[in-house]
Amino acid sequence: MALVTGKHIEIPSHIQACVDRRIPYLVDKPFADCATRLRPVAEVSEKYGVFSALILPNRASKVVAVVKKMVDDGSLGKLVLYNSRLNNGSPMRYDPTPSAWHNIPSISGGGSWATEGAHGIDTYLQFVGEKQVTVVGAVMSNAMYGREIEDSAVGMLRSDDGVTGIIESGYTFPSEGGRSGDHFFRFIGSKASVFAFYGKKGEPLIEVNTSSGTEFEEDLGHGERMRNIINEGLSSLQEGRVPETNILDAVRVLEIQDAVYDHARASPMTNGPYPMGAVAARP
């Protein structure tokens, strides 16, 4: 099995190499710089039945499992609002490393939204399923650092059955203070609300609010989620099971990611305020 990761614009060519050799693969987000670059190889991968699975650690979190159970047993009621925030440290952390290309939009496709937006989008899609999703609002801001990439981003989504999604990503957290970032979930249902956030000691917490009161439990840390989601992909291959995700799911995530970029880039009021760098032309 291959683990596919690297420069966003090059990932589809790495996947093509796997498909050509019929090598099963796990692929890390964001999967490509845009959906149109990934779609052709994704479709060929599925045509030839090449095993693929996505590394999306939110899927291994307890909070997602809790909300899925509450949806299934009716205790959440109807999901009406989903909000996630994944805000990490400044883009300067990439500059002295071999990953400095993250800050070159012609390679990465953008900044925090290109690198981190897929996590929140995927979780939203887990709960809206195959419903049509429309981008109704978006902002790409480089107000904090004035670089050619966004350092904070917000995408507002709406499914055709009325589930609103507000997804934030950023490079604005003062991570020098000890924590790696500000990571938050909010699921609002007609009968209950579920939040995920960090406690005073940085422990990941889940808060469930119902008419019976409020309950807390601790979630898994990021490292454990990553191990679990990778192990799930490996065991699916070993046991001959259909994985929870495949490369076509990545295309759908990127379609929404691209649509948010397009919405924001259509106006200088929602893209800036400083000049943004050019991204690679979409095929």
Instruction: Specify the pLDDT at position 176.
Output: 72
Condensed to tens digits (0 to 9), the pLDDT of residues 159-212 reads 999 999 999 999 999 977 677 789 999 999 999 999 999 999 899 999 999 999
| Rounded average pLDDT over 249-254 | 98
Whether the CB-CB separation of 66 and 40 falls below 8 Å is answered with no
Condensed to tens digits (0 to 9), the pLDDT of residues 85-106 reads 999 999 999 999 999 999 999 9
Instruction: Specify the pLDDT at position 167.
Output: 99
Instruction: Specify the pLDDT at position 160.
Output: 97
Condensed to tens digits (0 to 9), the pLDDT of residues 17-45 reads 999 999 999 999 989 999 999 999 999 99
Percentage of the chain surpassing pLDDT 70? 100
Residue 71 has pLDDT above 90, yes or no: yes
Domains of the chain with bracketed CATH: 57-272 (3.30.360.10)
